[in-house]
Amino acid sequence: MKKGYLSLVLHAHLPFVRHPEYEHFLEEQWFFEAMTETYIPLLRVFETLAGEGVPFRLTMSLTPPLLSMMSDPLLQERYSRHLRRLLELAEKEVERTRWLPEFHHSALMYRENFAFARWFYEEKYGRDIITPFRRLQQQGHLELITCGATHGYFPLMLQREAVRAQVRIAVEQYTRFFGRPPRGIWLPECGYHPGDDEILREYGIRFFFTDAHGILHASPRPKYGVFAPVYCPSGVAAFGRDLESSKQVWSAQEGYPGDPYYREFYRDIGYDLEYDYIRPYIHPSGLRVHTGIKYHRITGKTADKQPYIPWIARERAAVHAGNFMFNREKQIEYLVEIMDRRPIVVSPYDAELFGHWWFEGPQWLDFLLRKIAYDQQNIELISPIDYLAIYPRNQVSTPSESSWGYKGYNEVWLEGSNDWIYRHLHQAAERMTELANRFPEADGLLRRALNQSARELLLAQSSDWAFIMKTGTMVEYAVKRTRDHISRFLRLYDQINANAIDEFYLSDLEYKDNIFPDLDYRVYQTTLPARLRQAIPAMA
Amino acid sequence: MTIEDLENMGRSELLGLAEVQQIQDGRGTVDEQTVQTILQSTTAPPATETNPKTEATAWIEPRPEDPPHAEVTVGPGDDNELPFSYNQTRIVLMVRDPYWVYTYWDYSTDTYQGLTSLFGNWETVPLTLRVYEVTEAATKDGEDKHLFDIPIDGSTRSWYIHVNGPDRAYRVDLGYFHPCEGFVILARSNVVKTPRDSVSPIIDGDWMVIEEDFRKLYRLAGWGRPGSNSAELVESLIKRLEREIGSGAVSSISSPSFGARQKERGFWLVVNCELIVFGATEPDARLTIDGQPIALRPDGSFTLRMALPDGKFRIPVEATSAAGDETITITPVVERQTYHHRTREEG
């Protein structure tokens, strides 16, 4: 008999970065690196476990921008080119390090990883990386959930129509890719604003997550703290993040990823090796960038980094997986004494932590899933949706406004560096709703212009831009993206109002900002709440 | 940084700087004290911790031995200047956290011209933000609870307001003091409610919990321990920061991969060797070096470069004709020995 449940949640997201107007674009590397280092290694772990019949179940959000990039032919072609060159570099490195035994085994490891990635991407799935996710969901190993359409930060959106559009477009895209509507959502940045759950319910979403204090500070007081969900007044369930298990993985000091035997992220041959040698594999402008080949381990707080030893790191990952499981067992044993039902511990992480930042993360997950399956009796891995089937009756309570950002509220996305964006974002959202209400049945060029206006607004709303402005690196790009999309929106708005749509300009924007090809601008129409519509049939 | 530099900065620049320097002003105002605090913090010797900003510039600058590369910027793009004003007189209120709200506002040309002619000069208009708490009881009486006023100048268009009231609703009026009519409202904001910052006092009779058990659950959730929440959140932010900015953004290039420079020693020298094996054969031949297949260029030439540590190495290079009937093997034998010698003049 299981004593309690563990729900591991991986949030996979990258902002929509796609620049057909340039042959090489630096920020597109974010997607390529995450593909090679995170998404493909995770799929490799999941498929291997599934193939061996190891029972496991995880929850994973694949955000709409990420799905858009994964399915985009231009980025598929560019990723393919990237992989070819990466493999070529790995081959050269195997030769170069032949008599450097301390680096040679790592070079062989990278060549194997990249060759696998290439085989997996090109041969096995014909560049369609979404199919393996869908298959794992069908097999019951993954519960895939959605997110805001462009990862817009809901609590700082003034217009309900803007939040509704973020949810509705995401649900529609998910349904197209996975053949059924999503049952859960990862609110962008875990940002919850009371009342947003009403919108989630409209689109059939059954559950979402908040940070720990979102549930702990819910009202009325939640009987089980974060170890059971509450139902919002709308009937949508909210699950709270467990900070204890988060810390073990996240924390820079106490967390597993800081182990001295794990791979050092910052020592990359893109920076370390002689310029002429590495020149063909860095940015075509000559700017040194990360290649993904890194030969050192964290070692400690020293600049004198020791060589990476793959098998020792692997041992550490196994030890850390055992430690994580032991702590969850203890945690659940303790909780069972206090609670009159089986607890659920919800542990969400950014997916890109695994593999990209924490190189051994996928191995750790592999060990953890195997150990949970075979080495213990107390914990069962489930998804929140399963918990709701086991315990359909839950306390009704309204979570507190919260996020998983620094200090727990809205400050990361609303502070001196980025607060200037909101007067523009709100203005654009308001105008978009005005347009959608004014043109209930547009067609032809006008319809295209209205759809493109919606795309520009959505792209401007990505929480990533405000976040980057706050963090102080790559700010120029985030500012440019915000300004570009808003100014494009405003220009389209003026052209629509003047009944003078510049088709050449519009086509250029459709070519550049091609996210959500099936988008219908009418998602921005003001709709009355469903119950009000029923009460006043004449207005429906 | 000098006081002149600071005086030349706009308010938002100063606030941004204050943010960077982590000066918790608490009022959203820029006054003499803030300026002094910024001056002290920017003229102080650099902190020993690595600052993300300085690290970020480190990767942008090419290493001295690298040839100059083209500027990787965002490139030419749209004319993307955003409007300074949307020609509307309005005010919007947003929540930052349980204690602070943020407001931005805008003036229409009509408002601007009307007030300028009334007061003779835009700069002398006694513009004011009036902050209200919105409660059910007060709304019933038709009047919200007036908390305080914030005088603002004509060039300011946003403000952080310290309301210090978790789980309460607020509203702000933008207006000015008319010589005869008193406070005149130009625009009224939306109402926002700040988040709760503690456990709800409301308990549901059907979901009762013993106080002691609830405390245990609260502690177990990692929240009740003093300092634990902020520390954890700070760390998670750092991790997320690193993730979000993608690769390459924050890079500590401490040393090249061979022979780390030893800073503690005064004078130093590092020497390394690489070996280049090159040659040519028929373009359709198969070539291996030390058993590993090597790709030929279209003209049949090949190059392989590798590290050369101390020792003696045999490097068999074997070419097989396309038909497979002829094989030639050439084996260079390379030896590297390294001797160290150091002298130092006395005195």
Quick one: which of B159, B190, B158, B168 has its CA closest to B98?
Answer: B168
CA distances from A250 to A3, A245, B307 (A): 26, 9, 37
Which has the higher per-residue pLDDT, B130 or A537?
B130
| pLDDT on residue B71 | 46
Cα–Cα–Cα angle for A244, A39, A92, rounded to 5 degrees: 120
Take residue A441 and report the two structure tokens written for it: 């049945």
Q: Which range among A38-47, A48-57, A375-384, B228-237 shows the weakest confidence by mean pLDDT? A: B228-237
Rounded to 5 degrees, what are φ and ψ at A146?
-105, -170
| pLDDT on residue B319 | 94
Whole-number Å distance between alpha carbons of B287 and B65: 34
Q: Are residues A360 and A431 in the same domain?
A: no
| pLDDT on residue B272 | 78
Q: Are residues A436 and A487 in the same domain?
A: yes
Q: Which segment, A147-151, A246-250, B197-201, B304-308, is predicted with the most confidence on average?
A: A147-151
- Express as a percent the part of chain A with pLDDT over 90: 89
Taking an 8 Å cut-off on Cβ atoms, the answer to whether A217 and B198 are in contact is: yes
Contacts of A98 in chain B (CB under 8 A): 290, 306-307
- pLDDT higher than threshold 70 for residue B249: no
Q: Are residues A373 and A464 in the same domain?
A: no
Q: Which residues contact B124 (CB under 8 A, 6 or more apart)?
A: none
Q: Are residues A400 and A452 in the same domain?
A: no
Residue A299 in domain:
no
Q: Are residues A342 and A451 in the same domain?
A: no
Taking an 8 Å cut-off on Cβ atoms, the answer to whether B246 and A33 are in contact is: yes
Taking an 8 Å cut-off on Cβ atoms, the answer to whether B62 and A288 are in contact is: yes
Which has the higher per-residue pLDDT, A424 or A283?
A424
Q: Which residues contact B147 (CB under 8 A, 6 or more apart)?
A: B131, B132, B133, B163, B170
Residue A88 in domain:
no
Chain A interface includes B247 (CB < 8 A)? yes
Q: Where are the beta strands (DSSP E) in chain B?
A: 90-95, 100-106, 127-134, 145-151, 158-162, 169-178, 182-188, 192-193, 274-280, 286-289, 292-294, 301-307, 311-314, 317-320, 327-330, 333-336
Q: Are residues A165 and A253 in the same domain?
A: yes
| Number of other CB atoms surrounding residue A406 within 10 Å | 19
Domain boundary among A381, A407, A433: A407
Residue positions counted in chain A: 540
Take residue A466 and report the two structure tokens written for it: 């405000």
Task: Judge if ipTM > 0.85.
Answer: yes
Domain boundary among A356, A382, A407: A407
Q: Are residues A57 and A135 in the same domain?
A: yes
Quick one: which of B199, B201, B180, B162 has its CA closest to B29?
Answer: B162
CB burial string A288-310: b at 16+ within 10 A, e below: bbbbbbbbbbbbeeeeebbbbeb
pLDDT tens-digit series, residues B96-134 = 999 999 999 999 999 999 999 999 999 999 999 999 999
Segment B164-183 shows an average pLDDT of 93
- pLDDT higher than threshold 50 for residue B297: yes
Contacts of A266 in chain B (CB under 8 A): 250-253
pLDDT tens-digit series, residues B58-72 = 333 345 556 555 444
Look up the CATH number of the domain holding residue A314: 3.20.110.10
pLDDT tens-digit series, residues A201-227 = 999 999 999 999 999 999 999 999 999
Residues 203-232 of B with CB under 8 A from A: 203-204, 206-209, 213-214, 216-218, 220-223, 228-230, 232
Which has the higher per-residue pLDDT, A314 or B260?
A314
Q: From the centroid of its chain, how far is CA A516?
A: 17
Helix (H), strand (E) at residue A239? strand A237-240
- DSSP conformational letter for A131: H
CA distance B156 to chain A (A): 12
Nearest to A219 among B15, B202, B229 (CB): B202
| pLDDT on residue A211 | 94
What CATH number was assigned to the domain covering residues B90-193?
A: 2.60.40.10
Are B13 and B30 in contact, with CB atoms under 8 Å apart?
no
Q: Are residues A393 and A495 in the same domain?
A: no
CATH 2.60.40.10 fits B274-336, yes or no: yes
- pLDDT higher than threshold 80 for residue B215: no
What's the total number of domains in chain A? 2
- pLDDT higher than threshold 50 for residue B236: no
Straight-line distance from the first to the last Cα atom of chain A, in angstroms, rounded to the nearest whole number: 52
- pLDDT higher than threshold 70 for residue A28: yes
Domain boundary among A387, A407, A427: A407
Q: Are residues A422 and A399 in the same domain?
A: no
Q: Are residues A346 and A437 in the same domain?
A: no
- pLDDT higher than threshold 50 for residue B231: no
pLDDT tens-digit series, residues A90-121 = 999 999 999 999 999 999 999 999 999 999 99
Residue positions counted in chain B: 347
Contacts of B292 in chain A (CB under 8 A): 94-95
CA distance A182 to chain B (A): 25
- The domain spans of chain B are 3-45, 90-193, 274-336
- Reported as a pLDDT band with limits 50, 70 and 90, residue A290 is very high
CA distance A462 to chain B (A): 12
Chain A interface includes B68 (CB < 8 A)? yes
For every residue of B234-275, DSSP letters joined together read: HHHHHHHHHHHT-TTSS----S-SSS---TTSSS------EE
Per the structure, the complete domain to which residue A523 belongs is given by 415-530
Quick one: which of A97, A101, A66, A81 has its CA closest to A24?
Answer: A81
Q: Are residues A222 and A371 in the same domain?
A: yes
pLDDT tens-digit series, residues B45-61 = 333 333 333 333 333 33
Segment A351-368 shows an average pLDDT of 96
The whole-chain average pLDDT of chain B stands at 72
Quick one: which of B146, B255, B270, B347 has its CA closest to A304?
Answer: B255
CA distance B347 to chain A (A): 32
Look up the CATH number of the domain holding residue A430: 1.20.1430.10
Q: Which residues contact A407 (CB under 8 A, 6 or more apart)?
A: B97, B230, B233
| pLDDT on residue B57 | 31
One fold for B90-193 and B274-336: yes
pLDDT tens-digit series, residues A446-473 = 999 999 999 999 999 999 999 999 988 8
